[in-house]
Amino acid sequence: MQSKGSNYHRNATAGLVFRSPISALMLCTIAAIASFYVAGRLWQDAENRVYLSKELDRITGQGKSAISVDDTLKIIGCREQQKKLTALEMELAAARQEGFVSTHLSKTKTPPKKRPLVVIGVLTGFGRKNNREVIRKAWMTTGEALKKMEEQKGVIARFVIGRSANHGDSLDRGIDIENKNYNDFFILESHVEAPEEQPKKTKLFFAHAAERWEAEYYAKVNDDVYVNIDALGSALAAQLDNPRVYIGCMKSGEVFSEQGQKWYEPDWWKFGDGKTYFRHASGEMFVISKALARFVSINRSILRTYAFDDVSTGSWFIGLDVKHIDDKKFCCASWSAGGICAGA
């Protein structure tokens, strides 16, 4: 006869044996799911780390700092613009080799237009009409003769003048009428005529002339100077192999520091204790090559002007790789054998 305790023990043991397989199966399932989950997260994290590592190497490679999306887009845009600029430069180089002839003109076999040798700017002012009439009769010519000089000799000559402080007044109207009759003015619309503004006027002439005409040289002349066009052409043709030349009758001279003197220089202290100007071309007439004219055009807003246009022009080229040519034929004090200019 079995006791009650023995029966209880057998029943409890049977219950444990009956529940154990189910518990083990659940534990295995849970463990498997957990293993897959952990493995998946580890794999995903590993992929993310690889991606982030590659991106970090790309962004910070070679010591570069991380950039934003906006900066990246700007860089891409700049690269596209650089490609376009490179293409344009190649087209420009090809155009230069062809003498600035467009595709349409090349197809029609129109001969390329000859580049002017020199653009002469005769700086004049209000009340100087008599001087202009003398110059027209002496060497600049008018009408068809002026066009012939441009076409056959490559010499373009224009009177250079600004506008009145009272824009549109009788002074301006007088110049407009004169220009309508002769068509030989180069009017600087943004410049106000004044004796003390002569250096700025000279700078604007070179800047705007370089933009309007593609010439080999640009010459500044006073309106009381006579020019030998043939002698000028010969002298300039001899310098065509020099890309950056500044030609004239070179001088230096004393710097006057006392206010009220005729040649007073407000910036006299910049020229040292000796109070002597650097070498520069005399203001009656001087010539610069196209490279220098373009330099003036590009940097016009930051080029310093002094009291006189000849000193100002000379100062612009001191720090540049420029060949200064001291040619006595440009000394306009009087006519000389083979002289290029002479004062009135």
User: pLDDT tens-digit profile of 193-238?
Assistant: 999 999 999 999 999 999 999 999 999 999 999 999 999 999 999 9
- Phi, psi of 73, rounded to the nearest 5 degrees: -65, -35
What is the span of the domain harbouring residue 224? 118-248+282-343
Q: What is the CATH number of the domain that holds 179?
A: 3.90.550
Regarding pTM above 0.85, the answer is no
Report the distance separating Cα 53 and Cα 121, nearest Å: 66
13-62 pLDDT, tens digit each: 444 444 455 566 666 666 667 665 655 555 555 565 556 556 555 655 54
138-197 pLDDT, tens digit each: 999 999 999 999 999 999 999 999 999 999 999 999 999 999 999 999 999 999 999 999
In a domain, 315, yes or no: yes
Report the distance separating Cα 91 and Cα 102, nearest Å: 10
Q: What is the pLDDT of residue 1?
A: 47
86-124 pLDDT, tens digit each: 777 777 766 665 554 444 444 455 555 678 999 999 999
Q: Please list, in sequence order, all residues whose beta carbon lies within 8 angstroms of the beta carbon of residue 138, skipping any fewer than 6 positions away.
A: 226
In a domain, 30, yes or no: no
Q: How confident is the model at residue 73 (pLDDT cuts 50, 70, 90)?
A: low
In a domain, 8, yes or no: no
In a domain, 207, yes or no: yes
Total of domains in the chain? 1
In a domain, 47, yes or no: no
273-314 pLDDT, tens digit each: 667 778 889 999 999 999 999 999 999 999 999 889 999 999
In a domain, 227, yes or no: yes
Side-chain half-sphere of 268: how many Cα atoms within 13 Å?
15
In a domain, 46, yes or no: no
- Phi, psi of 221, rounded to the nearest 5 degrees: -135, 140
User: How many residues belong to the chain?
Assistant: 344
What one-character-per-residue DSSP string does 5-43 give?
A: HHHHHHHHHHHHHHHHHHHHHHHHHHHHHHHHHHHHHHH
In a domain, 7, yes or no: no
pLDDT surpassing 80 at residue 340: yes
Tokens describing residue 307: 């009291």
What percent of the chain stands above pLDDT 90? Answer: 53
Rounded (10°) CA dihedral 122, 127, 131, 132: 60
